[in-house]
Amino acid sequence: MGSRRISRECAMQILYAVDVCKLTKAEAEKSFWQTKDYEKGIVAFAQELIDGTIANLNEINELLKQTAENWDIDRMASVDRAILRLASYELLYALSTPPNAVINEAIELAKDFSTDESGKFVNGILDKIKAKRKIK
């Protein structure tokens, strides 16, 4: 597994803890990182993803509400919500990563951490969000 994939996995788990456990970002990060021993590059990219997602969370949530037709964001599976927030941040704000790579990584996270149908659900929403990506 590549280092960026590991970073995304870590970021998703921390975002999940912030959302579901109602931890602060600092509490979630401390709890997660103290039990792990990752190289600095993995932690740095994960931190960039976490910070960016949280900094833009209101805009991301609004976009998810608009994009996920017939789905209330609070009724989505918590893991799917964390994955969608993370990938939406990367699609819209971290423009150095090709959009198809972001979507493929999100689909794989959904398959690994959520339900059998989550990959299709995540793909459908992110494909719509990809169209809103700003060109550098």
pTM of the full structure = 0.94
Domain, as residue range, for 23: 3-130
In a domain, 135, yes or no: no
pLDDT at 136: 46
Q: Which residues of the chain have pLDDT under 70?
A: 1, 134-136
In a domain, 93, yes or no: yes
In a domain, 136, yes or no: no
Count structural domains, the chain: 1
CATH number reported for the structural domain that contains residue 84 in this entry: 1.10.940.10
Q: What string of H, E and C letters represents the secondary structure of the chain?
A: CCHHHHHHHHHHHHHHHHHHCCCCHHHHHHHHHCCCCCCHHHHHHHHHHHHHHHHCHHHHHHHHHHHCCCCCHHHCCHHHHHHHHHHHHHHHCCCCCCHHHHHHHHHHHHHHHCCCCHHHHHHHHHHHHHCCCCCC
